[in-house]
A and B are shown apart, each in its own frame.
Chain A
Amino acid sequence: MSKKEIIFVPALLLIFSLCVVSFWKLNSYLMPQKTVQKNSLLLKTNRPQGSLLHWDSEVSPNGLYRGDSYTGDYADYFNYYQLFITNLTTGNKQKVYAGDSHTLGWKWTDDSKIEIDYDCGSGCLATKILKTNESVSIADYQDGKMSEENGWKVKFTKSF
């Protein structure tokens, strides 16, 4: 064997082993990241997106659910007010209500029902009862569709 071959073979082996180690290290470094990205993507669909302001957080009377309300951009008209319900057993979070800036607020009426309050003008209050597994958008109740037959209760108070 020539002098060159004596150096070349171990050098080749060294480079090969370095490649194997580097690949193994890089893979183990990348793998968890891939998993995290995947999870965050999944969570993102069930979490409030964008820069939202968090206002309320209230647990249901039986302690199984938690409601959280947020407000976002007024420009996203029908999605300004968002209410999310989290199942505290499974951790699953779901948007149950999206409404405009006339939405007044919400409250638990029993273990699995929520009341949404909507400001429909001077001396006018509209309410709707939602179940925790329902999903409602105010965009579906425009131009007089906020009616009793659609599950809304509209109450007027005389001013004089």
Chain B
Amino acid sequence: MPKDNCSTQEGNQRQWLTIVLCNFGLNSLRVKASAKQGKTFLFFKKDDSDLKLIINDLIQKNQEPKSHKNWFWCGNALKGKSKLFEKELNLGSDIHYLEFWTDRNPEVEEITIKIEDLKRIPTVDNPKWTGNFKDDPEEILLARAIYGEMGGESYEAKVAVGWAIRNRVEDPKQRWGKTYHDVILQPFQFEPFNDPKKTVFKKITNPPTDDSIEGKAWQESFQAAMGVILGKATDPTKGANHFLVKNAHPWPSWAKEDKCTVEIGNSKFYKL
């Protein structure tokens, strides 16, 4: 509190303290302050102490009788007592101004600002999951999918899975959705995303970023994702939008040989 180093001063209606929140959401504000009534000497009454609060250019009005409407804390009404301002504001992330104006010297006892929880945007160097895959930029979500599906396979296989996903995104009939998020998060299509209890889910939600084997696989998956999204890596799947690991048997009805476009490592790619 600016009490000792920047206290309110004897003076008439002046701007005293301004708090600027830059790119924060403002959830609620609580201010506790007191204001004294001016003393009377013979027939003369000294000016009261008052405190005004302005939130984003809006003066917080005082509804109490016998008080100045534009001064939420009015010494004439409070007579030295404390008064609490408490309001749920729920203002989204932006620049917010909290201005305090004083008339003579009211006392501010408490200012509590509750700001919105900051949403972290996962990056390649800090890919820890926020708890919602929708917070991921598309290159991070695609990198997670590649890392989960082909983390242990070659770079070419990683690019191939990335392209199989991109081919779904760009499907003219839009059979799987319009975005990487729609396609990757479609239930039961990309198994690494389906069950939080599985090891692979733990892997893709918190990939190591160090120089370890997993860290290198994650970096390679991210490079493949960027290559696919930016079009720097050409499509080795020839337009495929499905893939199968060769181990499983029997294969689904759609996995016909004439639909198979390419075989990369242990996987076959299909264009349906």
Contact = CB atoms under 8 A, between A and B. Distances in A.
B152 A77 contact: yes
A121 B267 contact: yes
A123 B188 contact: yes
A100 B152 contact: yes
Given A120-B245, A145-B247, A159-B242, A107 B197 contact: yes
A122 B164 contact: yes
Interface string A77-90: 10011000000000
Given A103-B199, A122-B190, A74 B246 contact: no
A157 interface: yes
Interface string B187-214: 1111110010111111100000000111
A101 B214 CA distance: 11
A130 interface: no
Given A101-B153, A160-B175, A121 B244 contact: yes
Interface residues of B, number: 42
A107 B190 CA distance: 19
Nearest to A146: B247
A6 to B, nearest CB: 71
B152 A105 contact: no
Contact of A143 (B152, B175, B246): B246
A154 B249 contact: yes
What is the interface residue range for chain A against chain B?
35 or more
A119 B199 contact: no
Interface in A51-78: 53, 55-56, 69, 71-74, 77
B250 A147 contact: yes
A91 interface: no
A119 B191 contact: yes
B2 interface: no
A102 B246 CA distance: 11
B244 A71 contact: no
B252 interface: yes
Contacts of B249: 144-147, 154
A124 B248 contact: yes
Contacts of B191: 104, 117, 119, 124-125
B183 to A, nearest CB: 9
Contacts of A24: none
A2 interface: no
Interface in A105-149: 105-107, 117-126, 138, 141-147
A8 interface: no
Nearest to B150: A101
A121 B153 contact: no
Contacts of A104: 191-192, 195, 198-200
A156 interface: yes
B106 interface: no
A135 to B, nearest CB: 18
Contacts of A101: 150-153
B142 interface: no
A117 B152 contact: no
B243 interface: yes
B180 interface: no
Nearest to B191: A119
A144 B149 CA distance: 19
B217 interface: yes
A87 to B, nearest CB: 22
B163 interface: no
Contacts of B175: 159-160
A125 B188 contact: yes
Report, nearest first, the 5 A-B pairs whose CB atoms are least far apart. A101-B152, A105-B198, A121-B244, A120-B248, A157-B188
8 contacts: A55-B199, A100-B152, A103-B200, A104-B192, A118-B247, A122-B189, A124-B252, A159-B175
Interface of A: 53, 55-56, 69, 71-74, 77, 80-81, 100-107, 117-126, 138, 141-147, 152, 154, 156-157, 159-160
